[in-house]
């Protein structure tokens, strides 16, 4: 793989091409090492391998390039803990606060994490643009990111005085 200035070496050519191909509202799944990526991708999502990389490291690199959606309540969704794991006394997944911190740094705003029941999460992942299989081993570390837009700065367009009417305002 060639190296590019300002591009994290964690971002493979496949992942860079995928990010460039995505449009507003498309979704990218960052999946842990236990996620059934191959079977999920049978329905159309592109499979990308990022073995050996953690989700937080990839998330940080991806967020340098990918804007998160601002037209929805939360552009980031995680798989909720099962009742069984809650009853066992498992604490909140330790990566969730890290995800919030990384997204806040990248987006300059708080990003809430939407939690989804396991099989609802799987259903949504099947419809994603791509699923990135990582080497992450932490439980409940899967996250779905929704692509936003990069808006051009608004410019004030002046209307000649003779053309100014209430229709132009």
Q: How far apart are CA 136 and CA 35, in angstroms?
A: 10
Active site residue ranges = 24, 69, 122
CB of 76 within 8 A of CB of 161? no
Q: How far apart are CA 63 and CA 123, in angstroms?
A: 24
pLDDT at residue 159, rounded to an integer: 52
Q: Domains in the chain, ordered, with CATH? A: 24-148 (3.40.1650.10)
Q: Which two tokens stand for residue 40?
A: 């999920």
The residues of the chain scoring below 50 in pLDDT are: 163-169
CB of 142 within 8 A of CB of 105? no
Nearest to 56 by CA among 130, 128, 142, 146: 142
Residue 144 sits at φ, ψ, to 5 deg, of: -110, 130
Burial of 169 (0-12, 13-18, 19+ CB in 10 A): exposed
pLDDT at residue 117, rounded to an integer: 97
């Amino acid at each position: 793989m060639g190296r590019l200035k300002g591009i994290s070496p964690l971002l493979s050519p496949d992942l860079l091409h995928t990010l460039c191909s995505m449009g507003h509202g498309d979704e990218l799944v960052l999946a842990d090492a236990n996620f059934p990526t191959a079977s999920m991708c049978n329905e159309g999502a592109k499979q990308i391998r990022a073995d050996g990389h953690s989700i937080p490291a990839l998330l940080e690199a991806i967020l340098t390039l990918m804007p998160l959606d601002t037209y929805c309540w939360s552009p980031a969704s995680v798989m909720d803990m099962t009742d069984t794991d809650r009853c066992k006394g498992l604490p909140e997944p330790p990566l969730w606060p890290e995800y919030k911190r990384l997204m806040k740094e990248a987006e300059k705003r708080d990003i809430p994490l939407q939690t989804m029941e396991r099989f609802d999460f799987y259903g949504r992942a099947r419809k994603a643009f791509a699923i990135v299989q990582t080497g992450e081993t932490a439980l409940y570390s899967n996250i779905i990111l929704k692509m936003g837009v990069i808006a051009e700065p608004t410019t004030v367009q002046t209307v000649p005085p003779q053309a100014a009417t209430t229709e132009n305002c």
